Amino acid sequence: MPTDIIMPQLGESIAEGTIVKWLILPGERVEKDQALLEVETDKVSLEIPSPAAGFLTEVVIQEGQTVPVGTVLARLDTVQPAAGVINRVGGVVVRPMAPSGEGADHYSPAVRQLAKEQGVDLAQVTGTGAGGRVTKKDVLDFIAKRGPLKLAAPAAQRPAEAAPAAGEQIVPLTPMRKTIAERMVKSRQTAAHVVTFFEADFSGAARAREGLGLTYLPFVINAVTRALKDFPILNSSWGDHGISLKQDIHIGIAVALEDGLLVPVVRYADRKGLTQLAKEASDLADRARTKRLSPEEVQGGTFTITNHGGTGSLFSTPIIHQPQIAILGVGAVQKRAVVLNDAIAIRPMGYLSLSFDHRVIDGATADRFMSKVKEYLETSKWETYL
């Protein structure tokens, strides 16, 4: 009995998704809950598991295509196809396509149109899609190596793109990279960014984490959540009708990926101990890197922390994650010589930065908030927060 694979509802506000890669080749068998394909939305990139066991007998939507939620992407059958699989484009059966790549000379209308506009001979393009098919990404990669795009619109309507200089290579933008770019630019255009820097002594946290296998991140999260209760205006967002104060504290943790950045959220972070915070932050980061997050896990944050110090960075001026009004950057914790009681001592020190929206708070409020974060990091009896 055939089973339809449909584009799932990947979150309340998500209406469509892009097929990044089919992880199972046409004709191959897939087990129930095994990763079948990789999908990317404007919020997250994740792997979609197979709803049933069977053979991938029909591929309806090709890699690189963006389709609405509910669209049939492919079909599974319990019986292995004897002579290849069926490939559909736009809902029309074109002809059997063997997993070995036979039939790869058939191109979708979108691929043909792009090739026509750019003057590309599709016979020269190597297909990386299901069954060896040529996808739009393959054509764009070919164009990038060959030279500049030949835009279909008249030159008078659009500025001509400069040809790549010798030794340059054009890397096509992924949907995630485009989304990040748009959001970062929008944040800079929307919020009145200001940054303040503080230095904190991590000696207490360093002693508390010994033998527990904890990083400094859960200690920072704990200090931040307590400071947010002292200054609830930092746990808010700007709106046309006023400033929206959030009653719950949900901390976003920036996670760097190979091709972008995700900000999964630790919910109700103020209600959790250091061990639980460490466990959840680590789990979210691991699943972000392996594309196993759900869209809901990257939504609803009220304040964000970015631990850029993990790669050795000391200072950072992070961009606010909209619609929040602030983001805290954590630099590398390093042993440095500091003056304590008129004597020089060696302490594990780290720089903290706070990018904040000057529309919502002023510098004095931001500094008082950071002073509290510093105080909690330096003076807390951490054994009571495990």
Q: Tens of pLDDT along 207-258?
A: 999 889 999 999 999 999 999 999 999 999 998 889 999 999 999 999 998 8
Contact call for residues 143 and 149 (beta carbons, < 8 A): yes
Does 358 qualify as catalytic in the annotation? yes
Residue 162 lies in a domain: no
Give CA–CA dist 274/235, Å, rounded. 20
Q: Which domain holds residue 222?
A: 177-385
Residue 21 lies in a domain: yes
Mean pLDDT of 334-338: 97
pLDDT at res. 16? 83
Same domain, 218 and 320: yes
pLDDT at res. 150? 46
Looking up residue 375, the CATH number of its domain turns out to be 3.30.559.10
Same domain, 196 and 335: yes
Considering the candidates 33, 105, 259, 362, report the single residue annotated as catalytic.
362
Same domain, 252 and 359: yes
Give the burial class of 56: count Cβ atoms within 10 A of its Cβ; 0-12 exposed, 13-18 middle, 19 or more buried.
buried
Give CA–CA dist 292/38, Å, rounded. 10
CA distances from 240 to 187, 237, 243, 323, 359 (A): 16, 10, 8, 12, 12
Same domain, 365 and 307: yes
| SS3 assignment, position 278 | helix
Tally the domains of the chain.
Answer: 2
Mean pLDDT of 94-122: 60
Residue 40 binned pLDDT confidence (cut-offs 50, 70, 90): confident
Give the burial class of 130: count Cβ atoms within 10 A of its Cβ; 0-12 exposed, 13-18 middle, 19 or more buried.
buried
Last residue of a domain, one of 125, 146, 167: 146
Same domain, 129 and 216: no
Same domain, 381 and 284: yes
Q: Is the pTM of this model over 0.85?
A: no
Considering the candidates 4, 248, 286, 358, report the single residue annotated as catalytic.
358
Same domain, 25 and 138: yes
Last residue of a domain, one of 99, 131, 146: 146
Residue 14 lies in a domain: yes
